[in-house]
Amino acid sequence: MKRLIDSLTMSDIYTLSMLLLYTLLAVIFFNNIGHSLYLIIGNIAIISFVVYISLITKRFSNNEKFMLFRRVYIAPVVFVIYSQIHNYIPIINPELYDLTLIEWDKFLFGVNPTEWIYAIAYPPLTEYLQFSYMLYFVMPIVHGVELHFRKENASLGIFARNILFAFYLSYLLYFFMPAIGPRFFIHDFATLSLELPGLLLTEFFRSIVNNGGGIPIGAVNPADFVNRDCMPSGHTMITLVNVYFVFKNKSKFRIPIFIFSMSLIFATIYLRYHYVVDIIAGVIFAYISIKIEPIIRKFVKEILGFKSA
């Protein structure tokens, strides 16, 4: 046990904590979720893998290929964790808060922003913004890999744990105000492709977002399946945390990342994925995430005794 405690990084600890939490929820709500057993077995397998990788890291620390794998394998795990949360939100907090969020937007702006912004809809713009939206997972990976090849291990460790903390914090925040977004509550989802057509790749990218967001191909009533993850905007949270670190670390990609990041945040409204208040909340929680992560890390490292945290 001591060897494990001494081997786990803060990124490992955040990931294991989320997996353990979701495994516990799968046990508690075993009879409410048809595939609970598969969730439990899958989580135990991932937990075992994360622990194994952490234990052998010291032995292979001089192997550059292993260390690159060590630093990027977590990306698909983050998505697996994301995909699980939506088994529990409808059970723990079954209410949808879209009407409340719509009221907040109207109070702030006097209109529904997604309807107002439709006036500038233009296929080339739609294509560009849908492409920018697809870079959500890509941009943090780009900066992480850049730091790896620059051999800035300390900066990479700080960046990785902050990005993961922001991801997992957003997943937990979804429980408080579940919502499915204006493409369902304000607009007609079935006519989205007619109202916001792109050029070549928009429909392909849109289908990836739909499938990744829980909507099965050919679903008759997609609102019944879509993930309830609008509030706060995780896209805004993680994107802003990433922007903060690409400038702090003087990334050579910081200008294109900044441009695509601002485009991504605008796209969340233009493409009808989010209400503006989701974005405002995402900005606030991005700041909170950056501020509180070092405090949590200090507690885990100094009080709980995880030396490699």
User: pLDDT tens digit string along 95-127?
Assistant: 999 999 999 999 999 999 999 999 999 999 999
Judge contact between 300 and 309, C-beta under 8 A. yes
d(CA 104, CA 85): 26
Number of domains comprising the chain: 1
Give the span between the Cα atoms of 289 and 272, in whole angstroms. 25
- Residue 67 Cα distances to 42, 58, 71, 148, angstroms: 24, 10, 6, 9
What pLDDT is recorded for position 297?
A: 95
Residues of the chain with pLDDT under 50: none
- Residue 308 within a domain: no
What pTM does this model have? 0.94
Q: How far apart are CA 90 and CA 72, in angstroms?
A: 31
- Domain limits at 205? 2-303
Q: Is residue 275 part of a domain?
A: yes
309 within a domain of the structure (yes/no): no
Is 174 among the domain residues? yes
Question: Tens of pLDDT along 293-308?
Answer: 999 999 998 888 787 7
Structure tokens at 77: 């795990």
State residue 299's pLDDT score.
93
Residue 273: CB atoms within 10 A of its CB come to 21
Q: Which long-range contacts (CB under 8 A, 24 or more apart) does 192-196 make?
A: 192/272, 195/118, 195/121, 196/121, 196/126, 196/270, 196/271, 196/272
Tell me, yes or no, whether 180 lies in a domain. Answer: yes
Q: Does residue 114 form part of some domain? A: yes
Give the pLDDT score at 147.
95
Residue 125 lies in a domain: yes
CA distance 218 to 18: 32
The Cα 40–Cα 139 span in angstroms is 31
Does residue 218 form part of some domain? yes
Query: In the prediction, which pLDDT does 116 show?
Result: 96
